[in-house]
Chains A and B, each alone.
Chain A
Amino acid sequence: MTALALHGLVKRFDQKVAVAGLDLDVPTGSFFGLLGPNGAGKTTTLSMAVGLLRPDQGTAEVLGHDVWVDPVRAKALLGVMPDGVRLFDRLDGAELLAYTGMLRGMDRAVVDQRAKELLDVLALADAGRTLVIDYSAGMKKKIALACALLHAPRLLVLDEPFEAVDPVSGSLIRDILQRYVQGGGTVIFSSHVMEVVERLCSHVAIMADGRIRTVGPLEQVTGGRELEDVFVEVVGGRIATGEELQWL
């Protein structure tokens, strides 16, 4: 059973092809890392997978429900944390969580209880009535993650969850995600921090220029080497200087 199945996804922006016929199967219960250099199409791919961006071609299925044909069922199973997207940031943390929960039609008592628990665990309870717009970048990531987790989805799609997060919050987020996967959930997240992916993931995919270049279980992809070496080899590009920069 695949938690997320992407088939033949294509997206063009004006002249540029951002995603060029992408196929990807994320197994249920996996902790899946999507790697790629800047501009590889990671965000575009994930946006199409969760129904935020309409693909030019191809399909995206969440646990057997097509996101674009049967969005209601698919989106109920999904928890999403997009990158570079604003939150309803004129609410404070508790209000935002209450809003997200009620929006999904959850029971009021459950929303209250889970929201309080999440705020405590993520150390956001101290922020009190501070509006989310006045949160630091790391706090914004944490409240966005809490919003994605609130309805206990079966699949979590996270875009750059570790960017701009301090080491302590980073560890906390890792712990939460690991526990979530142990409980039977599936996570796919994008990143370009190799260490995090190497430590967390059971599966990885490396994409460049809108295509998946390598995909599989972590050990199979690395084959005993460092993930960073594999990444550089797959993506290509220059990593050392030659004769230039003598004056430096």
Chain B
Amino acid sequence: MDLLEYQGKQLFARHGIPVPDGRPARTVDEAVAAAKEIGFPCAVKAQVKIGGRGKAGGIKIANDEDEARAASDAILGMDIKGFTVHEVWIETAAPQIESEYYASIVFDRGAKAPLIMLSTQGGMDIEEVADSNPDAIATLHVDPLLGFQDFHGRRLAFEAGIDADLVRPVGAFLHQLYGTFIAEEALLVEVNPLIVTPERKVAALDAKVTLDDNALFRHPDNANLRDPSDEDPQEQMAHERGLTYVKLDGDIGILGNGAGLVMSTLDVVAHYGGAPANFLDAGGGSKAEAITSAVEVILSDDKVKAVLFNIFGGITRCDEVANGLIEAFKTLDPKVPFVVRLDGTNDVEGRKILADASLPNVHTAATMDEAAQKVVALAKGEAA
């Protein structure tokens, strides 16, 4: 789960990381009240999970109440690269900045260890720095059982070429950042820019945090930060039903069991010239209700012109899938054709149940390739 900037900053503040004072606001009135509390000048910042806010006009400085009102009125509801702004963050306008650094910790699955990165080239796209001047980024993997040591901070700071008087404070900052990464079970914490003030103090002027969804049961406060309004309606519906669903651009609804098989099904459909409308993994051990529920999610996307079921039963039983599909036809009365391929545990029973039910507009296929070819034809309005 990605956090908004201000949620990340609030998380940082709880771990003692210096961040500018700020307040979140969802309406213009809330924003003006927040600005008066913070004092002027203040920054009004759009809260969206996409980069390039500044260029899009999503960050404005307000010198008085009228300007705060005008700025929040302009930013709230704004569309930034397809993301609607539902919230702004009113923040003490950036103190004078002497330098902009970059600091991050990522869960490096290749190396199987947290990777810390530090650079004096902050304030810009770090991927560009990595391309044009890779030596400007100091990197270090931390042994997860040993944890962060003070010398890690010194080594990174010296290697990044940080001013001598800042080696200790930057090291302390990284130590706190690592503590946050571990304590909150993050997959990414990124600070860009990490600023240096004329008083030679460091602070996080931005915060990008990705948390591990699988660990949220240990962090109920973080779990509450999920904002359903920024999820696609179908994805939200699927999420509530415990299904793994990703919306795509095409017109063929896909349901399968197991992430790999579903990905493969998308590929095979594309291979035969079709365009999948979604990725939907009904999961292992799918019961009839889960299947009915999944069909409802798929059909709630009105672009869908045909649906492909590709099931290979392991834990999942094909007779359960067949019963779920029959139930779905009873309750939802779908108008689009279905192609169903059942293989694996109880496939004979499953196919028999479907044959006996003789559902309207349901086609069967013996292989994945045949199923894909049929559904592609049906989506184009041709005979299967």
Q: Do A and B bind each other?
A: no
Tell me the A residues contacting B by CB distance below 8 Å: none
Tell me the B residues contacting A by CB distance below 8 Å: none
